[in-house]
Structure 1
Amino acid sequence: MTIRVNDVVRFVLEIAAFVILALWGFFAFPLPWPGILIGIGAPVFAILLWALFRSPKAVFAVDPFVKALVEIAIFSSAALGLWQLGQPILAAVFALVAAVSGVLNGRREITES
């Protein structure tokens, strides 16, 4: 298996999305509660979804379109989190990079299957 540039970009996007969701939970909600619950729960839920449906060794083998829906849900949640934290330019850049990377990866997945 060869590692492509888009694979590295996607990995960085995944990690960034999980970190953004945690930061959103901690900073957008009052601490200690519900900030701690959302700050820990949001990335854990996203990681769980990714592991079950989207990762290369996913628990459930699903259609590429279901994989795309899970990916769109996680990445758009992270972009919206950035927007709510007052970072609209960063949110737009994250969303754009995620969209381009997702389209490139989706095209590759469809042609390989």
Structure 2
Amino acid sequence: MRDAPRSPIDPGDDHVPVPPATAPRRVDVWSVVRVVVCAFGLLSLAYWGYLTWPYPFPALFFIVGAPLFAAVVWYFFRSPHSPIETDVVGKTIVEVALVVAAGATWISLGHPAVGLVFVVVAAASGIVAARRETA
């Protein structure tokens, strides 16, 4: 009887659970672009708060608050590990809103070319990410 219950102090062939081997994550160009787009979007919101609002009180609130709010919204509704289940349409709406907000910061700062390039690159990386998630 090999699978009979045993005492914890019995020596011998113990069945120690082995955690499943996790495959290493693929790091490709689109994954790197995705991380750069997210970081640039958060930095854009912080930079907008720095240049737009008078220092110290409103500026510090927006320098920290705008990127923090965007990161929390992304985590709750768009993240692959989000605690709130959201369908594809909801994830798309949240991502588009965050990308447009970050692009609009550059337009409001007087650099529409930077905002347009950011929105186009973010849209391309978002489409690739969405295709990978649904495949």
TM-score, length-scaled by structure 2: 0.76
Report if aligned partners of 1:64, 1:109 keep a CA contact under 8 Å in 2.
Answer: no
Match of 1:95 in 2: 119
CA–CA separation in structure 1 for the residues paired with 2:78 and 2:27: 17
More helix by share: 1
Match of 1:13 in 2: 37
Q: Do structure 1's residue 75 and structure 2's residue 104 form an aligned pair?
A: no
RMSD (Å) for aligned C-alpha atoms = 1.3
TM-score, length-scaled by structure 1: 0.89
> Larger RCO: Structure 1 or Structure 2 (Cα < 8 Å, ≥ 6 residues apart)?
1
Runs (5+) with no aligned partner, structure 2: 1-24
Match of 2:109 in 1: 85
Runs (5+) with no aligned partner, structure 1: none
Greater Rg over alpha carbons, structure = 2
CA–CA separation in structure 1 for the residues paired with 2:82 and 2:28: 20
Q: How many positions carry a matched residue from both structures?
A: 111
Match of 2:79 in 1: 55
Question: Post-superposition shift, 1:104?
Answer: 2.0
CA–CA separation in structure 1 for the residues paired with 2:28 and 2:84: 24
Deviations 1:6-65 (A, max 9, x none): 122111111111111011011111112322111111001001011111122112121122
CA–CA separation in structure 1 for the residues paired with 2:73 and 2:28: 24
